[in-house]
Amino acid sequence: MKFYDCKTAPSPRRVRILMAEKAINIETIQVDLGSGEQFSDAYKSITPLSEVPLLVLDDGTSISQVNAICSYLEEIYPEPPLYGRTPAERALVESANNQIVMNGLSAVAEAFRNSTPGMKNRALPGPHNYAQIPELAERGLARLDHFFKGLDDHFASTQYMIGDYFSVADISALVCIDFAKWVKKPIPADFENLNRWYSQVSERPSAKA
């Protein structure tokens, strides 16, 4: 297997943390997004999406999208389980993970990609150029305020995203909070519950991935 990564980018970090939790070692190839390597003919011949992360299996099967890659790795490296241990827990993990992607990660991406000068015409990842819409950057920041408040309320009564069980939803939320620093949105100091959870998950060795 080969894992196509960019060590500074948030999406592949979600996969890296999952791999660290499971102590998986996969040959890793860095794609330099800063210099536009994702648009090179060599990389486009592997994935027309021009995005990272990407997992290429030994038979040449190419899997894109963080959620698909992480689910695949969970199947073939089931320990420790990060997608739930019972049918109900699996449903709760998937529900929480989807909400973090929709309401958290996409809000940061919206704010970052629509306001950063270096992202001009790159308001969305992928092979097509889209102009920035400043209103979407503002909306992303407003959505993040709501997202942080929702998490702070959530962690008032629970240790992790799903009870006392550390899951892939915690990985996604951790990466989201760190990504939010790119748009100057740290966790507000008075969000004690969210800060407690963040310190706890950040201290796991996998968080360095």
Site for ligand GSH in 131-190 (CB under 6 A): none
Residue of 90, 122, 139, 154 interacting with ligand GSH (CB under 6 A): 122
Is residue 106 involved in binding ligand GSH (CB under 6 A)? no
The smaller minimum CB distance to ligand GSH, of residues 90 and 122, is found at: 122
Alpha carbons within 13 angstroms on the beta-carbon side of residue 204 total: 18
Cis peptide leading into residue 80 (ω within 30°): yes
Structure tokens at 165: 């069980």
Are 147 and 102 within 8 A, CB to CB? no
Is residue 33 involved in binding ligand GSH (CB under 6 A)? yes
Residue of 38, 47, 97, 172 interacting with ligand GSH (CB under 6 A): 38
Size of the site for ligand GSH (CB under 6 A): 13
The smaller minimum CB distance to ligand GSH, of residues 12 and 84, is found at: 12
Is residue 104 involved in binding ligand GSH (CB under 6 A)? no
Closest CA to 187 of 203, 199, 205, 204: 199
Cα separation, 137 vs 143, whole angstroms: 10
The smaller minimum CB distance to ligand GSH, of residues 9 and 141, is found at: 9
Is residue 51 involved in binding ligand GSH (CB under 6 A)? yes
Cα(first)–Cα(last) distance of the chain, in Å? 19
Burial class (CB in 10 A: 0-12, 13-18, 19+), 195: middle
The smaller minimum CB distance to ligand GSH, of residues 53 and 84, is found at: 53
Is residue 125 involved in binding ligand GSH (CB under 6 A)? yes
Is residue 10 involved in binding ligand GSH (CB under 6 A)? yes
